[in-house]
Chains A and B, each alone.
Chain A
Amino acid sequence: MNIKKIAHSKIFTLLILLAIVIATFTILSNGAFLQPRNIRNIFQATVVVSLLTIGAGMLMISGQIDLSLGGIGTMCAMMAAFLMRSGLPWHLSMLAALVLGAICGAFNAVLVNEFNFQSFIATLATASIAQGFMAVISQGRQIDISDRTFNFIGGARFWDDLIPFSLIISLVLLVLYGIMLKNTKFGRSIYLVGGNADASRLAGLRPKRISYLLFMNAGALAALAGMLLAGRMMTSNTVGITNAQFQGLTAAILGGIAFGGGSGGMGGAMIGILILSTFNNGMTMINVPMHWQSVASGLVLLSALTADFLSSRKRTSA
């Protein structure tokens, strides 16, 4: 790869953007921003978003969108907490929650592939259903979790309290999925199906199967995300990871995964997540009120979408 190509790549642009965000907040916070504890917090906040971004991002590359992941993850975490309270050991509870997440994903896939609903609408419906079930399981209250192992997985930190265990999990997954996406047949198929599903099918790929696998995978990863958060908080509450879902989508788009499908990757998404997390953390550091933070996040999503739109327009009219 030559210098010119690197300078033109999206990753490069994103890294510069990240550097700008870091520099700005470092100055505004008089350096407090760069304290090791704060950096840890920034990374800690990426865990849930990363897991959602992997699932949602791959679906977007394949040309579909999943708005149910927040709902699914929250419900599955509640299910795990419920099962543990009922006396089931942590591993079986986690397994059950992961399977439940995959089943919810399969439900999405059925709606999209068998009934030909738009994934946008279908997953919105699933989100609502999942939220309803979550309320039924929890009876509207949080369920505290006393299992030590479960809480360790979500909340443990090593090396002077600086490296969260859950961060290691999410980074390993990001790397593994990234490699899978770029270097395996399955990964390539996701891009091809996103680029042209009809042509891919005629060339021997199985778009339907891929769609099922991706929805189920996203559901299971959402369940994991929900449980990691619950473990860290030692409780499963009714909001759970609902809000992280939009951050996941924003990060994916920011990282170059286009809405129409067919392009982007985990590398860009990872930097996208870091930018978002840094941005959110920085706003707290310099005491931007909660509500204004929400406004600012919305503006970031808008600018990510604008950039996506502009680059796709450039692509088609080149």
Chain B
Amino acid sequence: MSKSFPGVKALDNVSFRADGGRVLALMGENGAGKSTLLKILAGDYFADEGEFLLNGILQNFTSPYSAIMAGISVVYQERQMIPALSVMENIFAGALPKNKLGLIDKPRLKKETMALINKFELSIDPSVPVGSLSVAHQQMVEIMKAYRRGSAVIAFDEPTASLAEEEITVLFKLIEALKKEGKIVIYVSHRMPEIFELSDDIVVLKDGALVTTFITSETTVDELITSMVGRDIGDTYENLSRNTEVGETLLEIKNLVTHDVHNIDFSLKRGEIIGFAGLIGAGRTELVRAIFGANEITSGEIIFEGQKIDFKSPFDAIKAGFALCPEDRKEEGLVLYRSITDNVSIPVLSKIRKALILDRKAEAKLASTAVEKYAVKTPGIDKLVVELSGGNQQKVILGRWTNELMNTKLLILDEPTKGIDVGAKAEIYQTICDFAKQGIGVIFISSELTEVIGVADRIYVMRNGRITGCVDRSDATEEGILSLAMADKDETGGDAQ
């Protein structure tokens, strides 16, 4: 299969086969062509050349609908459901059971949905609107929908990027169940441990071309990474060159309360990296947004460089030397239909002006530097961000918030490596350490435990809007942090009120 976009060969003569009852992992660096391949299978894009056979029959999709009819379902990271409709209506969309009057047969709809929910051992209310569910549950609804359609092929594009550890376990159980039924599962992810836990076969792409295929049980993490990246990256965390000199206190949070977080106390020194671990929804994003002036504060104090601050908006925060690289790149990060350049320069537009007129050269230089620094895969800085691969979009936001005109004193990174490939991740960790060396204080939020433990000097753990503990890197273990992050039964009851 081959597919080109203007200036990019996204897929270059790729061939492989996937078998029923097995999970095939599709691996490769950012921009390698994984999502493009899935979109072709889903009938979203059309291949320039090549063919796709299912059970030996040549498929020719003219629309997403024809792909669904042929038995292909793709679960994307961005949900594809109708948020205002209920779980059961979404699952049975296009095949709603009708009663004698030709109206929707609600009781039957509910019964059949419950049967599905029970089969996969989930606890989801079939009549609530999908929009009110957590990301994880929405994803499961989507899987049930694919299952209900009787899809022979179910593909996942980075499904775990926004899921908590617990939820991932449930997702994997679901995938195992699909596998047992003989479905072909195609799985894309940048998280190595998952690949080895879940997959049976691995296909590696690089720059759109097939590099190699592995049988998972016959390969190792190192061998896989080397084939993806083209070199050996060694032990990511051991090789980090860290900051050793920590300065005076930069930021102090005293008894901070907002709508979603309660009694938060912590402090950060210059040159220090503190991590925030916790389950999705623990309140980490709300906390940093409040510090950044994006969410309202009910009470408490924020002291920065010895002075009490009260930001009315992110504008004030940025002026004071704060930078917040947000978690949700599509909603809160990027202006998708603008160029890379336009997206990188937003916070520093005032600094690239000559007598009120924007200096295009300076702006282009800023964007080129960001593109080079993070190795964004793109034919040029004028490319619309929406046309970049997911990981490369993430690199563009990182490039924005760490551009050289920023004057940052406090850098807040909310899930900065979401969707980023292993090789680039290692470089981002080093970049974070380099910022610390310059005396910048870093707040690093991540739901990937290994990464917080590996990068941060100190890790705060949050649960239900509160900080439940703090551990130094030297003492940190995944189990220890997880136990702080998970609610015990009686406490959940208390917090719910």
Contacts and interface: CB of A to CB of B under 8 A. Distances in A.
Contacts of A184: 353, 356-358
Nearest to B387: A318
Interface residues of B, number: 28
Nearest to A194: B335
Contact of A188 (B326, B332, B349, B387): B349
Contact of A202 (B326, B350, B353, B357): B326
A183 interface: yes
B284 to A, nearest CB: 16
B140 interface: no
A149 to B, nearest CB: 32
Given A184-B358, A198-B332, A203 B338 contact: no
B294 interface: yes
A315 B386 CA distance: 10
A196 B335 contact: yes
Interface in B280-304: 292, 294
Interface string B314-349: 110011000010100001111111100010001101
A178 B314 CA distance: 28
Nearest to A208: B313
A200 B346 CA distance: 8
Nearest to A263: B337
B8 to A, nearest CB: 13
Contacts of A200: 335, 346
Contacts of A202: 292, 294, 314, 324, 326, 332-333
Contact of B333 (A185, A199, A205): A199
Interface string B375-412: 00000000000010000000000001000000000000
B314 A192 contact: no
Contact of B358 (A183, A203, A315): A183
B334 A199 contact: yes
Interface string A170-192: 00000000000001110011011
Contacts of A189: 349
A148 interface: no
B313 A315 contact: no
A204 interface: yes
A201 B346 contact: no
B337 A192 contact: no
B351 to A, nearest CB: 10
B363 to A, nearest CB: 10
Contact of A196 (B318, B324, B334, B349): B334
A195 B315 contact: no
A257 B88 CA distance: 40
Nearest to B292: A202
Given A185-B349, A188-B358, A206 B315 contact: yes
B294 A205 contact: no
A101 interface: no
A310 to B, nearest CB: 16
B358 A185 contact: yes
A199 B332 CA distance: 4
A201 B337 contact: no
Contacts of B387: 318
B331 A192 contact: no
Contacts of A205: 315, 346
A262 interface: yes
B400 A203 contact: yes
Contacts of A185: 349-350, 353, 356, 358
A39 B350 CA distance: 43
B357 A196 contact: no
Contacts of A315: 337
A90 B276 CA distance: 65
Nearest to B345: A188
Contacts of A183: 357-358
A53 to B, nearest CB: 22
Nearest to A260: B337
B274 to A, nearest CB: 21
B337 A203 contact: no
A185 B356 CA distance: 7
Contacts of B332: 198-199, 202
Nearest to A206: B315
A248 B58 CA distance: 53
Given A192-B346, A198-B332, A204 B318 contact: yes
A264 to B, nearest CB: 12
Interface string A215-257: 0000000000000000000000000000000000000000000
A310 B315 CA distance: 37
A188 B357 contact: no
Given A196-B331, A201-B314, A203-B318, 11 more contacts: A183-B357, A185-B349, A191-B342, A196-B335, A198-B332, A199-B334, A200-B335, A200-B346, A201-B294, A204-B319, A315-B337
10 contacts: A183-B357, A184-B358, A185-B350, A185-B353, A185-B358, A192-B342, A195-B338, A196-B331, A199-B326, A203-B314
Rank and list the top 10 A-B pairs by shortest CB-CB distance, nearest first: A195-B335, A203-B346, A204-B318, A185-B349, A204-B347, A196-B335, A183-B357, A204-B315, A203-B347, A192-B335
